């Protein structure tokens, strides 16, 4: 009962509501940030598959995701990739480049114009 009378006062209720709103905003921001500390598990897995292709050499992959708001009452919190950038040692060969694009399209279900492949800079 004491808690209810404490919350009933107008000013305290306003501060509690403001605190809860800020907490929800921080939670949503931390979920959308996704860490950003390096390649995701999915990117690493795709790079591993692509580097096993003949002529590809070393491969790195960056995926881009559609932004999806995760509400309190819905949404899975998982976004699907909308684009990919592949950097590969063997991408200078047209055949390898086309095979890399085809593989990424197959793995992620992306249209051809959503996948870009570039030649990896050589290390001296």
For 78-101, the pLDDT digits (tens) are 678 899 999 999 999 999 999 999
Q: Are 43 and 62 in contact (CB under 8 A)?
A: yes
| Tokens representing residue 75 in the block | 């949404």
- Given a cut of 50, whether residue 124 has pLDDT beyond it is no
For 7-60, the pLDDT digits (tens) are 566 666 665 666 666 766 666 665 555 545 566 889 999 999 999 999 999 999
Q: Which residues of 13-25 are buried (b: 16+ CB within 10 A; e: fewer)?
A: eeeeeeeeeeeee
User: pTM of whole model > 0.75?
Assistant: no
């Amino acid at each position: 009962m004491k808690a209810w009378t404490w919350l009933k006062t107008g000013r305290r209720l306003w501060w509690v509501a403001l605190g809860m709103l800020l907490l929800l905003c921080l939670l949503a921001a931390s979920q959308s940030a996704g860490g950003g500390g390096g390649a995701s598990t999915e990117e690493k897995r795709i790079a591993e598959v692509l580097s096993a292709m003949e002529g590809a050499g070393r491969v790195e992959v960056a995926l881009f995701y559609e932004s999806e708001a995760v509400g309190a009452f819905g949404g899975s919190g998982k976004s699907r990739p909308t684009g990919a950038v592949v950097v590969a040692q063997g991408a200078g060969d047209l055949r390898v480049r086309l095979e890399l694009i085809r593989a990424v399209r197959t793995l992620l279900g992306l249209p051809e114009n959503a996948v870009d492949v570039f030649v990896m800079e050589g290390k001296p």
